[in-house]
Structure formats: structure tokens, C-alpha cells
Amino acid sequence: MKLAQLIDHIDRLDSYKRYGKVKKVVGLMIESRGPECSIGDVCYVHVGKNEKTLAEVVGFKEENILLMPFTKVNQIAPGCVVEATGSPLKIKSGISLIGKVLDAFGHPMDGSNLPKGLTTILSENEPPNPLTRPPITKKIEVGVKAIDGFLTIGKGQRVGIFAGSGVGKSTLLGMIARSSGADINVIALIGERGREVREFIERDLGEEGLKRTIIVAATSDQPALMRIKAAYSATAIAEYFRDKGYNVMFMMDSVTRVAIAQREIGLAVGEPPTTKGYTPSVFAMLPRLLERTGNNEKGSITAIYTVLVDGDDMNEPIADTVRGILDGHIVLDRELANRGHFPAINILKSVSRLMNHIVEPAHLEAANKLKALYSTYTESEDLIKIGAYKRGSSKEMDQAMDYYPKINGFLQQHMNEKITFEESVQQLISLLEEGDKT
């Protein structure tokens, strides 16, 4: 029986290799006559003696094939042979990758060899069937008081961190990676400056965080296709562990740079720019990528995506699209960061859409009451600072003034401070009770 199956498998193998030739290179795009292939297939472009570079089929122009290279196009010339592989990009995944920093192809960036015993997986997969996704009913600890207390995240929830540059996104991600209640972390660093990758690993993540983390990085100097594939490969690795029954904490910094990379490819292929220069393929790609995370019947991926907001404009196209896809958003406020308030989370502009369904009633009541008092104070902060408000004019305002410094103190946390979910909730409830007594 096994021999018959083997013969059948051999009969179905495609024993032919298909080739084409490069006709021209325009900007980022290689145009070739042949080979026979499909959108998304990986091809080899032979550029010298025993040298070849990878490229992906991204479109067609009349009878020619449009290829986007994964590396620079310096050595590619008319007449270079293009060899079809007949399959999309595949990477390897497994438990022995923990602690390693990988590139978009899943290869260690330090030049070492991949460990043995890994499983080959596709980098691009379909999101889980909506009817097979279990509802989110359990909370997950992230170790940040402001989030655990006021913006509780559920196991399998997808949340965005929205902020301008230099407001503390990477530091916050490092805190979460070190303190989260997940079994394993998968972090995608997309479009980062070259120096920031090592700085994030050594300063923000630390040795303790790296022990249970897999990092996939594609720096800003790499081609657009490498940056996109790094996002897909990191998501595929997270999916692999989810299918093994793990609870995964997945973080991507940043989804905005993935969108920018897709825009570069779209414009090179000939797509028309639409909203602020972004091509239609960007808005088609984002839901496909972001919906891949979450729960399935085997495990969970709790996902945190950072979104760079241009000029702190929370309504720019990518921020607006991502906010509509995700299950909540955390806004980092530059004004708070300038005051030395870390993490600079503005709890009044942030929301977790699932908090009401996953926390205890006492926790929810305390969070809502304290948030209301915090809002009351911030609305009249200018009047209070210039002395235009006198105590006794409003009982609610007086109460808000008493609570404000205590709430502000609760929301701040040193980057190396570790606090469990239970401790955060207890501090939150105690803060409300102490205020009521006074």
C-alpha cells in the first residue's frame, strides 16, 4: 500500500522546470518573458555564475511577468534567466526558534544555521473561519497597570497602540513582552532603523524577555517586499504555535510601515494612488493580515499592533482603517510623554471593546468611576490651574481634584516594574475605596 502511494505521488510530481528571461528593469520592478507561474509564486533570477536572487510574482503586463525582488537589483540585466519554483514563500518554524532573531525568510540574522527538527509552513495563510473562532471570555495579563486596570485585554483580542514617533511605543512593547501571561512572544519589527533592532532586544526586551520570544525583523533599508514578507512570516510563526495549542502574544511594530511597503509595490505595479497616496491593495491587504490573529479552536494569538500616526493625527487613513478592524485601541499622548508620564497612555481616548465582558463587576465599576473622575478633572484642568475654580462650587469637581493625583500616580509605572493583574486590580479598587472614605 505504501509503495502504491509513493508511486502515485511520484506520478503527480511536476518534473519540468520552467524558465524565462529578463526583458527590462524599471525602478523596483523586473519585467520578464516567462516563465509560467502564478501571482505570489517565488522565482529565482540567475544573476551570475552559481548566483541567484529571489523575486516574487506581483503582476502581469500583457504577456510579460512582473517580478519584485527580495534584494537589490544591481546585478540583474536583460537576458538573465528566471526560474519558476511553482510555490509561494515558505519558512520553517518550531520551538527551537525561541530566543532567535530572524529575517523575512526565517533565517537567523546572526548568520547561524537553523536548528534541526523544524516544520515547513507557508508564510501567507487564510484567516480562521469566523464560525470556528471561540468567543473571547478570558483576560490576559500584560503587566502594565494602566492597561490591566482600565483597558483590560482578552486572550485572543487584537489591539492597536496609536502614537506618533518617540512617544514610547517600543518601550511599552518591551514591558508587555517581559511581563505578559502568554506562553510565547512573537515580535515583528518592520521598517525599523538598523540600530533600533539591537537596542530593542538589549534595552527594551532584555535577556529575560528574549528567553521566550521569537523576533522577525526587516529594517527600513531593505526592499519593500522584504518588509511585507517579514510581517507575513512573523504572523505565520505565531499561527504555527497557536495551532499547537499555545497562547501567543504577537506584537508588530509597526503596521503603518507594512502599509507603506505595500504602497511602494502597488505604485510600482501601476495601481492608481487613492487616499493620501495609498493604493487600493493597501486597504485590501490590511484586513487579510490583521484577521489572521485571534483565537481558533486550538489556541490563541493575542495581538498588539503599533500604528504610527502622522503628526499625531488619529484620523489619517491607515490609523482609521486599522482602528476599524481591531478590537480596541490604546492611544499614547505626546503631551503626557513630554511631562515624563510613562507609559504615556491616555485612558480617556483609549478603549478595549471586550473589557466589559471579561472582568469582574467590582473591577469594572471601579475603572468606570475613576475614569469618570479623571475625565471631570481634565475637562476643567485649565480653569483649575489659573485659579478660576474655587473649592465648594461643585461637589463632583472637588472629588475629582482629590482623586486626580492618585489616579495619575496609578497610571504611571517604571519600565522595569513588575505588577501582576491581581495586584493592579486590587490597587484600583483600593484607590476608589480610600477616596470614598476621605
CATH number for the domain harbouring residue 374: 1.20.1270.330
- Average the pLDDT over 283-293 and give the result: 94
Q: Is there a single domain that holds both residue 429 and residue 374?
A: yes
Confirm whether 264 is domain-assigned.
yes
Residues of the chain with pLDDT > 70, as a percent, come to: 96
Instruction: Indicate which CATH number applies to the domain containing 265.
Output: 3.40.50.12240
Q: Is there a single domain that holds both residue 313 and residue 420?
A: no
Q: Which residue has the higher pLDDT, 371 or 48?
A: 371
Instruction: Tell me what pLDDT residue 135 has.
Output: 92
Q: What are phi and psi of 6, to 5 degrees?
A: -65, -45
Q: 14 falls in which pLDDT band (50, 70, 90)?
A: low
C-alpha cell at 197: 533592532
Final residue in a domain of this structure, among 356, 379, 395: 356
Instruction: Tell me what pLDDT residue 8 has.
Output: 73
Residues of the chain with pLDDT > 90, as a percent, come to: 47
Residues 6+ apart with CB under 8 A from 337: 166, 167, 168, 344
Q: Is there a single domain that holds both residue 166 and residue 58?
A: no
Instruction: Tell me what pLDDT residue 303 has.
Output: 95
Q: Is there a single domain that holds both residue 341 and residue 415?
A: no
| E strand or H helix at 193 | none
Comparing CA positions, the residue from 232, 180, 222, 229 lying closest to residue 197 is 222
Q: Report yes or no: 21 and 80 within 8 Å, Cβ to Cβ.
A: yes
Question: Residue 184 pairs with which residues in a beta bridge?
Answer: 248
Instruction: Tell me what pLDDT residue 388 has.
Output: 72
Q: Is there a single domain that holds both residue 141 and residue 78?
A: no
Res. 48: pLDDT tops 90: no
Final residue in a domain of this structure, among 331, 356, 381: 356
Instruction: Indicate which CATH number applies to the domain containing 76.
Output: 2.40.10.170
Instruction: Tell me what pLDDT residue 244 has.
Output: 93
Q: Is there a single domain that holds both residue 196 and residue 337?
A: yes
Q: How many domains does the chain have?
A: 3
Res. 422: pLDDT tops 90: yes
Does residue 15 sit in helix, strand or coil? coil
Instruction: Tell me what pLDDT residue 229 has.
Output: 93
Q: 102 falls in which pLDDT band (50, 70, 90)?
A: very high
Instruction: Tell me what pLDDT residue 311 has.
Output: 65
Q: Is there a single domain that holds both residue 331 and residue 402?
A: no
Res. 1: pLDDT tops 70: no
How many Å apart are CA 6 and CA 3, to the nearest integer? Answer: 5
Q: Is there a single domain that holds both residue 64 and residue 143?
A: no
Res. 437: pLDDT tops 60: no
Q: Is there a single domain that holds both residue 251 and residue 166?
A: yes
What does DSSP assign to residue 311?
G
Least confident of 49-53, 99-103, 215-219: 49-53
Residue 426 domain boundaries? 360-434
Residues 6+ apart with CB under 8 A from 87: 41, 42
Confirm whether 5 is domain-assigned.
no
Q: Is there a single domain that holds both residue 204 and residue 108?
A: yes
How many Å apart are CA 350 and CA 335, to the nearest integer? Answer: 15
Confirm whether 1 is domain-assigned.
no
Average of per-residue pLDDT values in the chain: 88
Final residue in a domain of this structure, among 87, 107, 131: 87
* Alpha-carbon dihedral 420, 421, 426, 427, rounded to 10 degrees: 70
Instruction: Tell me what pLDDT residue 160 has.
Output: 94
Q: Is there a single domain that holds both residue 166 and residue 263?
A: yes
Res. 435: pLDDT tops 70: no
- Average the pLDDT over 151-174 and give the result: 90
Confirm whether 397 is domain-assigned.
yes
Confirm whether 403 is domain-assigned.
yes
Res. 9: pLDDT tops 70: no
Confirm whether 46 is domain-assigned.
yes
Res. 234: pLDDT tops 90: yes
Q: Which residue has the higher pLDDT, 434 or 192?
A: 192
Least confident of 53-62, 109-118, 171-180, 306-315: 306-315
pTM for this structure?
0.90
How many Å apart are CA 20 and CA 45, to the nearest integer? Answer: 9
Residue pLDDT, tens place only, 333-361: 988 888 888 999 999 999 999 999 999 99
Residue pLDDT, tens place only, 64-76: 899 988 887 777 8
Q: Is there a single domain that holds both residue 75 and residue 108?
A: no
Res. 121: pLDDT tops 90: yes
Confirm whether 4 is domain-assigned.
no
Does residue 381 sit in helix, strand or coil? helix
How many Å apart are CA 273 and CA 265, to the nearest integer? Answer: 11
Output 132-137 pairs: Cβ under 8 A, ≥24 positions apart. Answer: 132/296, 132/297, 133/294, 133/295, 133/296, 134/295, 134/296, 134/297, 136/295, 136/327, 136/354, 136/357, 136/358, 137/357, 137/358
How many Å apart are CA 59 and CA 343, to the nearest integer? Answer: 44
- Average the pLDDT over 404-426 and give the result: 91
Confirm whether 6 is domain-assigned.
no
- Average the pLDDT over 28-46 and give the result: 88
Res. 149: pLDDT tops 80: yes
